[in-house]
Structure 1
Amino acid sequence: MDQSMMLMLSNLLHLHNHLDPTTSLLSDLSSDATSPTSLLTSTSAAPLLFFTIASVLSYVASNPPSKPTNKNKNPKPSGSGRTPSAATAEFSVSAFRALSTEHIWAMEAPLRDAQWRSLYGLSHPVFTTVVDKLKPYITQSQLSLPSDYAVAMVLSRLYHGLSAQTLASRYALEPYLISKITNMITRLLATKLYPEFINVPVSRRRLVKTTQGFQELTALPNICGAIDGTSVRLHKLPTDLINPSMYHSRHGFPSILLQVVADHQKIFWDVCVKAPGGFDDATHFRDSLLYNRLISGDIEWDKAVNVRGQHVRPYIVGDWCYPLLSFLLTPFSWNRTGSPAQNAFDEGIMKGRKMVEEAIGLLKGRWKILQDLNVGLNHAPQTIVACCVLHNLCQIAREPEPDLWREPEENGSPPRVLENEKPFCYYGESLRQALADDLYQRLSSR
Structure 2
Amino acid sequence: MDQSFLLMLSNLLHLHNHLDPTTTLLSDTPSSTSTAPASLLTSTSAAPLLFFTIASVLSYIASTQQPKTTTKSPSKSPSSSTSQFSVSAFRALSTEHIWTLDAPVRDAQWRSLYGLSYPVFTTVVDKLKPYITQSQLSLPSDYAVAMVLSRLCHGLSAKTLATRYSLEPYLISKITNMVTRLLATKLYPEFIKIPVSRRRLHETTQGFEQLTSLPNICGAIGSTPIKLHHLPNDVANPSMYYCPQGFPSILLQVVADHKKIFWDVCVKSPGGFDYGTHFRDSLLYNRLISGDIEWDKVMSVRGQPVRPYIVGDWHYPLLSFLLTPFSWNRAGNPVQNAYDEALIEGWKVVEEAIGLLKGRWKILQDLNVGLNHVPQTIVACCVLHNLCQIAREPEPELWKEPEESIRPPRVLENEKSSYYYGETLRKALADDLYQRLSSR
Report the TM-score range of the alignment, normalised by the length of the smaller protein: 0.7 to 0.9
What letter corresponds to residue 425 of structure 2 in structure 1? L
- Residues 89-116 of structure 1, C-alpha deviations (whole Å, 9 max, x = no match): 2111110000011100111111110111
Does residue 109 in structure 1 map to residue 103 in structure 2? yes
| Distance in 1 between residues matched to 2:407 and 2:87, nearest whole Å | 54
Work out the CA distance in 2 between the residues paired with 1:329 and 1:88.
57
Check conservation: 1:363, 1:391, Cα contact below 8 A. yes
> Structure 2: which amino acid aligns with 1:377?
L
> If the length of structure 2 is used for normalisation, what is the TM-score?
0.82
Partner of 1:346: 340
Match of 2:90 among 84, 93, 96: 96
Q: Which residue of 2 aligns with 1:328?
A: 322
Match of 2:161 in 1: 167
Q: Does residue 140 of structure 1 match 2:128?
A: no
Q: Contact 1:87/1:170 (CA < 8 Å) preserved in 2?
A: no
Query: SS in structure 2 opposite 1:145?
Result: coil
Partner residue in 2 for 1:376? 370
* Structure-1 separation of matches of 2:81 and 2:302: 67
2:294 is the counterpart of 1:304: no
Partner of 1:227: 221
- Other-structure match for 2:183: 189
Query: What do the CA deviations read for 1:193-250 (whole angstroms, capped 9, x no partner)?
Result: 0000001000000000000000000000000000010000000000111110110000
Matches within 5 A, 1:124-135: 124-135=118-129
User: Cα RMSD between the aligned structures?
Assistant: 1.5
Query: What TM-score, normalized to structure 1?
Result: 0.81
The structural deviation recorded for 1:414 is: 1.8
Q: Paired residue for 2:116, among 106, 109, 122?
A: 122
Structure-2 separation of matches of 1:307 and 1:88:
67
Q: Is 2:232 the counterpart of 1:238?
A: yes
Whether the aligned pair in 1 keeps the contact of 2:325 and 2:343 (CA below 8 Å) is yes
Give yes or no for the alignment of 1:408 onto 2:408: no
Partner AA of 2:397 in structure 1 = D
SS in 2 for 1:133: helix
Higher mean Cα deviation, 350-359 or 410-419? 410-419
Alpha-carbon distance in structure 1 between the residues aligned to 2:83 and 2:366: 28
Match status 1:423 vs 2:417: yes
Query: Is the CA contact 1:75–1:84 (under 8 Å) kept in the aligned structure 2?
Result: no
What does residue 64 of structure 1 align with?
A: none
Change (3 A) 1:223 1:84: farther
**Equivalent position SS for 1:90:** coil
1:234 and 1:255 in contact (8 A); partners too: yes
Structure 1 residue matching 2:423: 3-state secondary structure: helix
1:199 and 2:193 aligned? yes
* Rg larger for: 1
Identity of aligned residues (%): 82
Q: CA deviation at 1:410?
A: 3.5
The number of aligned residues is 369
Which consecutive residues of structure 1, in runs of 5 or more, have no partner in the other structure? 1-72, 77-82
Distance 2:249 2:78 in 1: 34
Cα separation, 2, equivalents of 1:87 and 1:348:
58
Alignment deviations for residues 143-200 of structure 1 (CA, whole Å, 9 cap, x no partner): 0000000000000000010000000000000000000000000000000000000010
Q: Which amino acid aligns with 2:109?
A: Q
Q: Which runs of 4+ in 1 moved over 6 A?
A: 73-76
Q: Which residue in the other structure is 1:256 paired with? A: 250
Residue 106 of structure 2 aligns to which amino acid in structure 1?
A: R
String of CA shifts for 1:292-313, please: whole Å, max 9, x gaps: 0000111000001100000000
The letter of the residue matching 2:435 is Q
